[in-house]
Amino acid sequence: MNRPDPIRPNPDAEDALFEKRTQVHPQRIDGNFRRLKWAVMIVTLAIYYITPWLRWDRGPYAPDQAVLVDLANRRFYMFGIEIWPHEFYFVAGLLIMAGIGLFLVTSAVGRAWCGYACPQTVWTDLFQHVDRFVDGDRNARMRLDRAPWGAGKIARRGSKWMIYLVISFWTGGAWIMYFADAPTLTVDFWSGTAAPVAYITVAILTLTTFVLGGFLREQVCIYMCPWPRIQSAMLDEKSLLVTYKDWRGEKRGSLKKAAKAPEEFGDCIDCNQCVAVCPTGIDIREGPQIGCITCALCIDACNRVMDEVGRPRGLIDYATLEDCEREAAGAAPKPVWKTLLRPRTLVYTGIWSAIGLAMLFALGTRTHTDLSVAADRNPPFMLMSDGSVRNAFTLKIRNMESRPRDFTLALDGLDDALMWTGTVPRDQAARSLTVSVDADQTRAIRAYVAAAPGTPAQGFAFLITSQGEQAETDRSDARFVTPEEAAQ
């Protein structure tokens, strides 16, 4: 069979920048994959719209929103986890895991992300259900498209676009709820006292959802999204793809024609149902193409047709290129588990799991106490009136718990030295001091360390320990600089 180039499916369109768009009106279909698509759509939309309203008690000093990107205080809260700016590697790790997860899914089952969970797919699917609800199924919508503009058409179009707009506004509105306390922001938003950036963000997201989901739809997948181009590097002859089994279906022909010369015709009765249900409007019988998002609705449609005409299911099915060749030669396909569990997918799974476990380990063992030290460089030391040498440092003590805590700040090494701070006078200098830090805050303090005349330059460390049973510690190395060392 003559298969088209998947990158440029229509060779006749050589000189055109874009192929002329044919409006897609997917037909209602029921089946296993459609039900899976329903389930994924409901779960992903529910997660998106409901998550900002979930509460999570973190005590009186931290917000009680379960998932919150607190830009003002530079924190990311996700249920029991709080990520500080210096822990951004956790977010980077999550992004890397998402990328590798996408590689894994694509190499195993093709563009399943595109077909089920991509936001463009989910919102387009939602808007297509609105079309069906307002205008009826495929044939009714096609008739309405062709009908001249009149009161009825204007009313239908107006009500449909109004529903699009409400969904789009809801989508933009839900997004900003991730960046502030949702109930408070809702009140501020409707009373006109929210920050201008909130209104601008909602306006931009409402517009993009309305246009991309309501009107551009499959054009985004075919022309705007880079992912279909990238995915071709991840697919191989062992990847499962939605495939029309042309060796079984061809030569296609109606039941009537096939009844007259059964030996001439294959199983495809050319009913066009697989095309009618396709959300991107392509004909999978023309081979793999960039417009196929692997949603598998054509499998549901064709299986139903096969049931009706009494032929075996699976004329359109998930299959690998290898299996296609095997089946075409009359052999049995490989079991699906062997296709899924192959070296490439196992390597991706191994890397993905290793990163996940490393992050879980890092999360489980991290302390909520952090100390960083910066020494004064100019001047690096001061000679005191009694002949002792003083070095000055800026210490940052981070209390990453949502309660105020007292810490013991101590010198480790530099045996005869004493320390005081901006709030503890020199006459109370000691080797260890108590420092209080507010809940979920970083406190910067000036620390002065003085040692007796003749003390040699040497390394030492500041050590902090949270008071109480918890006794979390952190240390930061420093160097005591003397006039002799500075002169060298």
Out of 102, 185, 305, 389, point to the residue binding ligand SF4 (CB under 6 A).
Answer: 305
Q: Which of 10, 139, 272, 436 binds ligand SF4 (CB under 6 A)?
A: 272
Comparing CB distances to ligand SF4, the nearer of 289 and 369 is: 289
Among 67, 112, 269, 437, binds ligand SF4 (CB under 6 A): 269
Please choose, out of 11-19, 296-304, 354-362, 474-482, the segment that lies near ligand SF4 by the rule CB under 6 A: 296-304
Of 188-196, 301-309, 395-403, 472-480, the segment contacting ligand SF4 by CB under 6 A is 301-309
To ligand SF4, the closest distance from the beta carbon of 45 in angstroms equals 20
Residue 248 or 344: the one with the smaller Cβ distance to ligand SF4 is: 248
Q: Between residue 276 and residue 295, which ones bind ligand SF4 under the rule CB under 6 A? A: 277-280, 282, 284-285, 292-295
Stretch of 118-126, 297-305, 324-332, 340-348 lying at the interface with ligand SF4 (CB under 6 A): 297-305
The phi and psi torsions of 242 (rounded to 5 degrees) equal: -70, 120
* 105 lies in the binding site for ligand SF4 (CB under 6 A): no
> What is the nearest approach in angstroms of ligand SF4 to the Cβ of residue 210?
23
311: exposed, middle or buried (Cβ count in 10 Å: 0-12, 13-18, 19+): middle
Smallest distance from ligand SF4 to CB 115, Å: 6
Determine, following the binding rule CB under 6 A, whether residue 242 of this chain makes contact with ligand SF4. yes
Q: Contact region for ligand SF4 (CB under 6 A) — 269-277, 325-333, 414-422, 473-481?
A: 269-277
Contact region with ligand SF4 (CB under 6 A), list: 36-44, 135-143, 270-278, 469-477 = 270-278
- Quick check: 240 and 108 in contact, CB under 8 A? yes
| Contact with ligand SF4 (CB under 6 A) among 273, 339, 369, 466 | 273
For residue 303, the minimal CB distance to ligand SF4 (Å) is: 8
# binding residues, ligand SF4 (CB under 6 A): 29
Binding flag, residue 301, ligand SF4 (CB under 6 A): yes
Nearest-angstrom CA–CA distance, 172 and 340:
38
Question: x/- contact string, 309-348, with ligand SF4 (CB under 6 A)?
Answer: ------xx--------------------------------
> Least distance (Å) from ligand SF4 to the CB of residue 252?
6
Cβ proximity to ligand SF4: between 75 and 245 the closer is 245
Q: How far is the C-alpha of 266 from the C-alpha of 248, rounded, in Å?
A: 6
Is 268 near ligand SF4 (CB under 6 A)? yes
Nearer to ligand SF4, 27 or 441 (CB): 27
Question: Which residues lie near ligand SF4 (CB under 6 A)?
Answer: 242, 244, 249, 268-274, 277-280, 282, 284-285, 292-298, 301-302, 305, 315-316
